[in-house]
Amino acid sequence: MHCAAGDGVGITAGAALAAQWRFPSWADFSLEYVLGFGFGWAVFQAFAMREMAGGNYLRSLRQTFLPELLSMNLLMTGMVLTRHLLMPQIEGSADPLTIGFWFVLSMALIVGFALAFPMNWWLVASGLKHGMITVRPFSPPAQHATMITDEGPTHRQPHGENHPQPPGTTGPSTAAKAAMTMLSIASLVLGIALASWING
């Protein structure tokens, strides 16, 4: 959800602007990718994860570049293919002032989310990206509430508190990162090629 929200805002804005300005396909794709990557990286990744970088935003930008790249490539692959498949079938899908345009974009975002999910799962599991509750500090026992019951005093955690798993001692190897990078780029290139073939 985090990936789709951040990248999706930029991609959607790019698609609407490109359609309004009647950009050619390559310029449309470029604008969507740049805005999607830029917004997702600078705001939804680096800014949101700055605490994992000691509160340093510039350091967070460096640390989140690769995760954002891998996630964005898979999300964009799904969106490009879905849009090129649906646009010829939906009336008004090229006009941002029609419901058809937003319907196609919504379906494309759902498919992009599904396609990017395995990559995001790997990124979170490898410690390269944060999950929904993986950046919460451990709470000391003194903060736990004490309840008096018939069996004696018992301790419970305050409502909503979640303890993350301890972070791994090592992240993925350089070879693993390189392999995932090549996989994401290959997926995007294949998606663009298939989209061009569909239109051709």
Tell me if 177 sits within 8 A of 62, measured CB to CB: no
Identity of the residue numbered 129: K
Can you read off the two tokens belonging to residue 5?
Answer: 């929200």
109-151 pLDDT, tens digit per residue, is 999 999 999 999 999 999 888 765 555 444 444 444 444 444 5
Q: Give dist(CA 63, CA 48) in Å, integer.
A: 12
25-81 pLDDT, tens digit per residue, is 999 999 999 999 999 999 888 887 787 778 889 988 998 899 999 999 999 999 999
Tell me if 70 sits within 8 A of 181, measured CB to CB: yes
CA dist 113 to 73, 108, 125, 175, Å? 11, 8, 17, 26
Give ∠ CA 40-173-56 in degrees, rounded to 5.
40
Q: Could you tell me how many residues make up the chain?
A: 200
Residue 159 confidence (pLDDT) = 41
Can you read off the two tokens belonging to residue 173?
Answer: 């190897």
Can you read off the two tokens belonging to residue 200?
Answer: 């051709």
